[in-house]
Each structure stands twice: as C-alpha cells, then as structure tokens.
Amino acid sequence: MSFIEQYVHSLNANSLQDDDTHYAAEALFAAAVADATGAGLGALLSRVKYADGSISKVFESGTANLANLLRIWGDLVACKGQERRWIKVKAEWDISTAPAFYKRVADRSLAYWLDGKCKDCNGTGVTLERRVCPTCKGSKQEEIAGNGYERARILDMVSELEGYLQAHNARAAARMRRMV
C-alpha cells in the first residue's frame, strides 16, 4: 500500500489506536514529521487532493482545507513570482497588475493540479463513439487557458505543486519504513 493510500486510510479511520491490529496513526505521524522537515505544504496537498470530500465525511465538505491551501499557495506563488521577476516593473501600472497576475497563476495552477482532466471525455481520451477526443486530442488533460507567457507560469507552478507533494510523500514513506 502506498503512503498516500495509508494516509487517506488513517484520515478516515474510526480509531487511532496504536497496537498490533490498529496502526492508522503511523501515517499521520509520518506526514506530520515530513511536513516539519519540508515546506509544510505536503500534508495539506495530500488531504485536499485525495481525502477531502470522501464518502465517509458527509458532514464536512473539505472547503476549509481548500480555502487554507488556496491562501497559502497564493502567498507562495506571489513570492516565487517576485523572486523570479515574472513582471518587470517599468511603470506604475506594472506594480498594480502584478498581484492580480500572481493570483490568477495561483488559482489556475491549483485548479489544474487538483483536476486537470478533460471535461468533454472525462479524462479518458476517447469519445463515446470510441474516437480520439477532439478537445484534448487523446492527452486526457484539458488545455490551460491564457496566453503563452501565463500558461508557462501556470505549468511551472503545477510542476512545483507536484514536486511538493512527491517530496512530502517520499519523506513520509521513508519515515514509515523506519518505524516498521
């Protein structure tokens, strides 16, 4: 069982006892330790992408986690945009448009990372007639809206999100291997 499966299982566990038959708390502990040693974003990414809105959590929709992630991710993208000088400040107008550009990149990159499947073929790459989907051309991914420059920044941030998640999962899985 992969770490993410164990983590989602522990989030949905009825009991967090730690004995020979119950060991759901180990994945939560590993995720917490991995967040402490990393950027602190991995467990939240895992929770929002894989666990929120699960069937067993009818009473909560997971919107608090998503709102929190969107706020943290927006701040992180703004910092990265300033560090990487996505917008060259040449006029007063550039100063006022930079935050809007960073927010657009943050929102679109997070939305694409959470669900970038083609809506017309539901991520299968083929139509009901068993032909290649004309919208995604069989790639199963939807097209990112925006001009070339903005699209490149969005794709860059999507890869950053995936990198944060993979690094967190690798640290947590290594921690779980040491616990066994």
Mean pLDDT of 10-28: 72
Q: Tell me, what's the pLDDT at 20?
A: 61
Tokens 């993410």, residue located: 4
**CA atoms in the 13 A half-sphere facing the CB of 32:** 7
- CA dihedral 33→35→38→44, nearest 10 degrees, is 160
Q: Where are the alpha helices (DSSP H) in 84-117?
A: 92-114
Q: Can you give the residue range of the structural domain that contains 37?
A: 3-179
- Tally of domains in the chain: 1
Is residue 175 pLDDT above 70, yes or no? yes
Is residue 87 pLDDT above 80, yes or no? yes
The values of phi and psi at residue 114, to 5°, are -70, -40
Is residue 58 pLDDT above 60, yes or no? no
Dump pLDDT digits (tens) for 120-135. 898 899 988 999 999 9
